[in-house]
Amino acid sequence: MDLFSPEFWSALGAIIIIDLILAGDNAIVIGMASKDLPKEHQKKAIYWGTAGAIIIRIIFTLVAVWLLQVPGLLLIGGLALVWIAYKLLADDKGHDNIKATTSLKEAIRTIIIADAVMGIDNVLAVAGAAHGSFLLVVLGLIISVPIVVWGSTIILKLIERFPVIVYIGTAVLAMTAGKMITDEPLLKGFIGENDVLKWGIIIAIIAVVLLAGYAAKKKQGGHHPQTG
């Protein structure tokens, strides 16, 4: 992919949006793991825990980029990302299994392990949006990671105040999933070079994910227990 092409910059933009939308988990993991530490250790836990998590995430993402070049895995990854995009809207993610600790080493370990497990959606989304470009993965992480590390709590507050951000992020994830599915070599015989069919499928995936996620979220909101 040419560095100066519109495709390169649109893919880079998608990666940054994906990283920022999925940054809420990072904020929650870091906050919950380090909240019981002494004040002087909290910054160390955040710094070293985040550094370890970033290194692991880079390795996972580069491996995923390589794996998605295997025939069939692009389709599987795309379908998995459709589900992830839907769940982003439909579910409130639970983080009750992340326990606070008073040990600096334990907090760092918790941040790294939890982020590695919970970051699978991020890894898959970024790998798909990169279209096989390792440069895009590295650039996306270099740009978005500092924002995530220092601005994750702000991102969380913005998402809470402007729920439409989640819908935008979900649409980007669904579009990435659609592109992964339509770029699958095994489907080339069906889709070919027909751009109208390709974008028709992508738009249909985005619409279905947004409508299904909205319906599920609305249904959950209508079943809150009565209080008082």
pLDDT at 148: 63
Cβ atoms of 55 and 66 closer than 8 Å: no
pLDDT at 126: 80
Token duo for residue 143? 């740009």
Long-range contacts of 187-193 (CB under 8 A, 24+ apart): 187/75
**Weakly modelled stretches of the chain, pLDDT under 50:** 222-228
Cα(199)–Cα(153) distance, integer angstroms:
35
Over the chain, what is the mean pLDDT?
A: 77
Q: Domain locations in the chain? A: 6-221
Cα(108)–Cα(128) distance, integer angstroms:
29
Cβ atoms of 208 and 178 closer than 8 Å: no
Locus of tokens 């809470």: 160
pLDDT at 222: 46
**pLDDT tens profile 137-150:** 778 777 766 666 66
**pLDDT tens profile 73-114:** 888 888 888 888 888 778 655 555 555 566 788 878 777 776
